[in-house]
Amino acid sequence: MLPGALIRNADLHFVCKYVNICVENNNTPFTYELENGDVLSMPVAHAEGNYTCDDATYHQLQENNQIVFRYCDESGEATSEANPNGARDNIAGICNQDRNVLGMMPHPERACEDLLGSHDGLGVFRSLNRAIEMAMV
């Protein structure tokens, strides 16, 4: 696979729907205000971009606790039915080793008030706000 190559969703279709994700690591600026095990409802909207990596990278992510979110069912179980795009091990978000960069699908910015269908994305932004406030003190 070439760097930057797009990985199509497992079913080769555009997916636009609300999904559940489970917080796997609340020790990041993006999840500071959340608890491990929290289940959040947020929308996905994509045809490409399911997370994939080789075994060495996957084991490094696990060892360094860099997996931040996983697709899950309503009870927090990471099942194949809850995985909307075929991402490896239901990974919905990872961070770098310094924990200051987060890559994720779904879209927390599209889940910031009930009128949009969910306010669960607010936890990500409240966490960032709190991290900034703490750094400024």
How do the pLDDT tens digits run along the chain, 137 residues long?
434 445 655 555 666 789 999 999 999 999 999 999 999 999 988 666 678 899 999 999 999 999 999 999 999 999 999 999 889 999 999 999 999 999 998 999 989 999 888 999 999 999 999 999 998 64
Please report how many Cα atoms fall inside a 13 Å half-sphere around the Cα of residue 8, on the Cβ side. Answer: 5
Sequence-separated (6 or more) residues with CB below 8 Å from residue 30: 68, 95, 102, 124, 127, 128, 131
By C-alpha distance, which of 127, 119, 121, 58 is closest to 94? 58
pTM: 0.87
Give the Cα separation of 91 and 122 in Å (integer): 20
pLDDT at 13: 64
So what's the architecture of 15-136 in CATH?
3-Layer(aba) Sandwich (3.40)
Tell me, what's the pLDDT at 5? 46
